[in-house]
Amino acid sequence: MDGDGFFVANTLGNPVFAGAVLTGNRGTTLNVPFYDPQPGSVAAIKGIATDNNGNLFKLTM
């Protein structure tokens, strides 16, 4: 599942949604949308990160 598909399927309309843009010291940028399907449970947080090099990463906490 790509980053856009993850957003539509999981985060759009979810009450506990957040996102971040992280920039590394060598020019890499990560776009990280994530959500909590069980509000209050940090261990349940899930997300997808995409970088400016076309890579896709799974986010779990």
| Residue 45: predicted pLDDT | 86
Amino acid at 38: Q
Q: How confident is the model at residue 61 (pLDDT cuts 50, 70, 90)?
A: confident
Question: For the segment 4-47, what is each residue's pLDDT rounded down to a tens digit?
Answer: 676 666 656 667 778 899 999 999 999 998 888 888 888 888 88
pLDDT (0 to 100) of residue 13: 66
Domain residue ranges in the chain: 3-60
